[in-house]
Amino acid sequence: GQQVMQIPQYQHVQEGEDFTTYCNSSTTLSNIQWYKQRPGGHPVFLIQLVKSGEVKKQKRLTFQFGEAKKNSSLHITATQTTDVGTYFCAATSGTYKYIFGTGTRLKVLA
Amino acid sequence: SAVISQKPSRDICQRGTSLTIQCQVDSQVTMMFWYRQQPGQSLTLIATANQGSEATYESGFVIDKFPISRPNLTFSTLTVSNMSPEDSSIYLCSVGDLLVDEQFFGPGTRLTVL
């Protein structure tokens, strides 16, 4: 079945450093979404990417969908302690069901 | 956006018993899903709850173990039957909007099986 891998699994950064997580699929994707889950919380939707090569920005967050629609990345510029949490990508190959990636747990050291 | 509540928020259960988790949404939604998230892990889709018909289960999940009801467009239940310690997990319901294509998650039910 379809698998969605994320790297790295964990990342510790100093506050103010940049952070990037990568999401890779074994199959071509239709859409990809990104979610953030704070410790003890539930996943919260951040963004959806649909088009090949699409880049979207939300303040310090930049999301990119690969040209081949098999990978995606989330980049955070100048991390803050409020960025702490686990970031998941969720991908679909055309159905209404999304497969969640393995997640990247981010810790920001003040 | 949709506001979702789940009951109970947490429970500790004995092996061999069953627990029913409720999911209530503040508006009518087309798609409702049930996920499992084991400690420190990602989310795994258990099934799609269909209004008026049987749920659609993912590979590795069966109706006898995880019966689901969805009597209307705002409510669903997931039962974890004949529990074992391996069922200890967080169970989350989510709703989706076919137009917006965004999922909203409930707060989750943290289940511990002794």
pLDDT tens-digit profile of A7-58? 999 999 999 999 999 999 989 999 999 999 999 999 999 999 999 999 999 9
* pLDDT surpassing 70 at residue B58: yes
CA distance A16 to chain B (A): 26
Chain B residue at shortest CA distance from A102: B42
Partner residue opposite A48 with nearest CB, options B59, B102, B107: B102
* Overall average pLDDT of the B40-64 stretch: 93
Inter-chain CB proximity B43 and A100 less than 8 Å:
yes
Alpha-carbon distances of A37 from A32, A34, A42, B25, rounded to whole Å: 17, 10, 5, 20
Residue-level pLDDT at B1: 76
Provide the mean pLDDT of chain B: 93
* Overall average pLDDT of the B45-51 stretch: 92
Chain A residue at shortest CA distance from B48: A97
Residue-level pLDDT at B50: 86
CA distance A19 to chain B (A): 20
CA distance B43 to chain A (A): 6
The C-alpha atoms of residue B41 and residue B53 are separated, in whole angstroms, by 30
C-beta separation of A36 from A101 below 8 A? no
Q: Render pLDDT for A46-55 as a digit per residue (tens, 0 to 9).
A: 999 999 999 9
- In chain B, residues with a C-beta closer than 8 Å to the C-beta of A43 are 43, 92, 103, 105
Question: Residue B44: which pLDDT band, with cuts at 50, 70 and 90?
Answer: very high
Partner residue opposite B42 with nearest CB, options A41, A48, A100: A100
C-beta separation of A78 from A62 below 8 A? no
Residue-level pLDDT at A93: 76
Inter-chain CB proximity A96 and B44 less than 8 Å:
no
Provide the mean pLDDT of chain A: 94
Question: Residue A83: which pLDDT band, with cuts at 50, 70 and 90?
Answer: very high
CA dihedral for B2, A97, B9, B61, sign (positive or negative): positive
Percent of chain B with pLDDT over 70: 96
C-beta separation of B110 from B10 below 8 A? yes
Inter-chain CB proximity B103 and A90 less than 8 Å:
yes
Residue-level pLDDT at A90: 94
> According to the per-residue pLDDT averaged within each range, which of B42-51, B76-85, B97-106 is highest?
B76-85
